[in-house]
Amino acid sequence: AGEGADLSFPNVAELLQTAKNAFHKRFQCQPTHAACAPGRVNLIGEHTDYNDGFVLPMALPLMTLVVGNKTDTGICRVFTTSPVDGPSYVEFAINSSQEPLAPSKPAWANYVKGVVACYQGPQVSFDVVIVSSVPIGGGLSSSAALEVSTYTFLEAISPTTTPITDRQKALDCQKAEHTFAGMPCGIMDQFISVMAKREHALLIDCRSMEGQLVPLQDNKVAVLITNSNVKHELSSSEYPVRREQCEKAALALGKKKLRDVSMDQLEAAEASLEPVIFRRARHVIGEIRRCEDASLALENGDYSKFGKLMVQSHNSLRDDFEVSCGELDSLVESALEVQGVFGSRMTGGGFGGCTVTLVKAEVVPEVITHMKVGGYWQVLN
Ligand code: GAF
């Protein structure tokens, strides 16, 4: 088996059927178009994207699907089967001078509105239903999956005269999140959701916006994802604070971004920096290096090295960047107690969500039992 889960989640065909049924029930007709985009797990390279560094995510078979029709009413009608907040149905007008597109409640709909506002093609109205198997707010990039699937749906119903590049699409979706969801995210989540390839991780250089595929092909090794099922309030408020601290560090060191600072330069400047700013920068500079090293280790099949880097990454996120939490630390510690586990770390923005563990495929069931959580795993083949 290439993958497994002791938590059941629908495959894409089942998800599509659910979406079509829900669409028919709500709008009394069949949808003409469907678009989907995956969630992701980041293997290593955390909080490095907005510092122009490297990240190494891979897409998951968990995804968001948008089905619907183009309409000529000027009103977009949007229904979701997994509302996080407020009602599951919203309507909004496009091209309306009385009611320009703006963020409002419920929050989940802002991702859709934001993408409509940032889409480069002709503005058209539509009826859609959204279904998703990405755990909402679980640190597996449910936001980007919604943005990218919405964008792809718009490309299908309202094509542009010149095709939009993948890079531009990721940037437009990021802009939607910045401007409509108020989250100053980096580019990792949108980039991998647009550009992921099966059986590969993607080493993304967030400065040049170049991606390099890293094959994941070894049926003796698995990537295991476990969900802490917590999301602390701090997750949205602390992210912008971390971003600002990184910018402050780069400025104090006379560089554009922390990508431009070496560990030696940082250490030489320690006395001139506030301790907290020093620690934030130490995480980022170390993590950019770890991500590059880890990607090489993965290519060479050196899982022990990769695992060690994962643990260093987690410790740095916990101690220097301070974005972990007790639940994530316990999951990581518990995974590391099992023989055959190469490494484990929190993944995503932090303050809850998931951990990712690199493990010998044969011991996955033992790890899950030991961790006392449900998990999703994918063997590297
Ligand atoms: C969130 C953000 F959206 C990403 O851009 C990235 O910064 C990540 O947190 C941390 O690595 O997922």
pLDDT computed for residue 381 by the predictor: 53
Interval between CA 75 and ligand 1 midpoint (Å): 32
* ipTM for the assembly: 0.99
Q: Is 131 in the pocket of ligand 1 (CB under 6 A)?
A: no
User: What stretches in the chain show pLDDT beneath 50?
Assistant: 1-2
The count of other CB atoms within 10 Å of the CB of residue 199 is 13
Q: Is 47 in the pocket of ligand 1 (CB under 6 A)?
A: yes
pLDDT computed for residue 273 by the predictor: 98
Interval between CA 124 and ligand 1 midpoint (Å): 31
Q: Is 287 in the pocket of ligand 1 (CB under 6 A)?
A: no
The gap from C-alpha 256 to its chain's centroid, in whole angstroms, comes to 25
Q: Is 283 in the pocket of ligand 1 (CB under 6 A)?
A: no
> What atom of ligand 1 comes closest to residue 55's alpha carbon?
11
Residues 6+ apart with CB under 8 A from 329: 314, 318
pLDDT computed for residue 137 by the predictor: 80
Q: How far is CA 150 from CA 67, 177, 368, in A?
A: 9, 13, 34
Interval between CA 4 and ligand 1 midpoint (Å): 26
> What atom of ligand 1 comes closest to residue 47's alpha carbon?
11
- Please say whether the beta carbons of 290 and 45 come within 8 A: yes
| Cα separation, 315 vs 293, whole angstroms | 17
Tell me the percentage of the chain whose pLDDT exceeds 90. Answer: 86
DSSP string, 62-117: EEEEEEEEEESSSEEEEEESS-SSS-SEEEEESS-SSS-----SSTHHHHHHHHHH
Q: Dump pLDDT digits (tens) for 33-60.
A: 999 999 999 999 999 999 999 999 999 9
The residues annotated as belonging to the active site are: 189
Interval between CA 23 and ligand 1 midpoint (Å): 32
| Cα separation, 24 vs 18, whole angstroms | 10
Q: Is 293 in the pocket of ligand 1 (CB under 6 A)?
A: no
pLDDT computed for residue 1 by the predictor: 31
Nearest to 210 by CA among 193, 195, 189, 197: 195
pLDDT computed for residue 8 by the predictor: 65
| Cα separation, 19 vs 5, whole angstroms | 22
Nearest to 129 by CA among 90, 89, 88, 79: 79
| Cα separation, 56 vs 46, whole angstroms | 9
What is the torsion angle, in degrees rounded to the nearest 10, for the CA atoms of residue 114, residue 120, residue 126 and residue 131?
-60
